[in-house]
Amino acid sequence: MIHNATILRIDTPAASTVTGTQAWTEGDAVAIRCNVQGISKSQQWQVDRLKFDATAVVYIKYSDMPAGVSIANGQRALVQVDGLAATTLYEVRRDSDVVKRELSHVMAWLRAR
């Protein structure tokens, strides 16, 4: 897997505020190497069929995930693409494990916030 980005933080949802907006608990700083891609045509078909919103997909090899850290539906991930100073905060819309021997990885569908 070719890495092109780093996940800097994974936030978890906290209790909603009085006004009903979602509150977040910021996660600890991490440095998880990953691959972030835009949605392909076949993936867009899946997004449309399953009726969820996503703007990118992240792939993280199991061996690159620190112990005790996970990424799951409903969380947020702060991502920095290699060579860019800016970061992007994504909401994790859907996650899945892909088991393929040495290429086993987590795949998460993301929506830019």
pTM for the whole structure: 0.88
Number of domains in the chain: 1
Give the gyration radius of the chain's Cα atoms.
Answer: 14
CATH number at 55 reads 2.40.10.270
The tens-digit pLDDT sequence of the chain (113 residues) is: 899 999 999 999 987 777 878 888 999 999 999 999 998 888 888 778 877 888 999 999 999 999 999 999 999 999 999 999 999 999 999 888 888 777 788 989 899 98
Do the beta carbons of residue 87 and residue 75 sit within 8 Å?
no
Domain that holds residue 91: 5-112
